[in-house]
A and B are shown apart, each in its own frame.
Chain A
């Protein structure tokens, strides 16, 4: 596609439920990043993939969060037993190489009620 695509654009879920957020990176980009952004704050790093493997998952806040990228393209961020504090915009980005221009998607706004 022309850019990074994230689905859904908005997700409202009940506390305790499981959610999946999808990211379609730019074709050919080997690096993929997930970030979380709360209102008034800069994006907060969650996890980084190089190809299929998670090269750095140090930003995942706890074991309720998990992300996969099984074929080195599409990635899914999975959140179990959602809590109200998980409410935020989840951003995905991809780049052709580390620290070159990263292209961000529009984000998924997650609201846990």
Chain B
């Protein structure tokens, strides 16, 4: 059972900033938050990972409030090629007894011209 909840779908237009919020009310102290992107007929691709506050890389930003019960993936100035499914996952990188990533249904982002 996925430990996260996110919208099933979102629409946007080219050039806009897109924010996808994920709820993880039962996040554990040692859990990190990770986002993956999946294009049709491809495996998921890692986008970003964070624990608290804000993380930014060349692709996206991840905002995590102090209570860590939610997180927001921010994609600046999306293009048509950003149309994909985005998955939010939580897990403990230090866990030694399981490595499974638990995916929910993800958010299907459709970018329109």
Using a CB-CB cutoff of 8 Å, which residues 67-113 of chain B contact chain A?
A: 85, 87, 91-106
CB of B99 within 8 A of CB of A56, answer yes
In the bound assembly, the distance between CA atoms of A103 and B42 in angstroms comes to 11
The majority secondary structure among interface residues of chain B is loop
CB of B105 within 8 A of CB of A41, answer yes
Which residue of B42, B49, B100 has the most chain A CB atoms within 10 A of its CB atom?
Answer: B100
- Chain A, residues 66-101, CB within 8 Å of chain B (1/0): the string is 000000000000000000000000010101011111
CB of B46 within 8 A of CB of A103, answer yes
Known A-B contacts A97-B93, A98-B94; the reply to A104 vs B43 at CB < 8 A is yes
Q: Looking at chain A, what size class is its interface with the partner chain?
A: 20 to 34
CB of A33 within 8 A of CB of B100, answer yes
- Chain B, residues 36-61, CB within 8 Å of chain A (1/0): the string is 00000111111001000000000000
In the bound assembly, the distance between CA atoms of A40 and B104 in angstroms comes to 11
CB of B96 within 8 A of CB of A98, answer yes
- Shortest B29–chain A CB gap in Å is 14
Using a CB-CB cutoff of 8 Å, which residues 14-55 of chain A contact chain B?
A: 31, 33, 35, 40-45, 48, 50, 55
CB of A98 within 8 A of CB of B44, answer no
In the bound assembly, the distance between CA atoms of A95 and B36 in angstroms comes to 14
Residues in A neighbouring B103, C-beta threshold 8 A: 35, 42-45
Residues of B within 8 A of A (CB): 2, 32, 34, 41-46, 49, 85, 87, 91-106
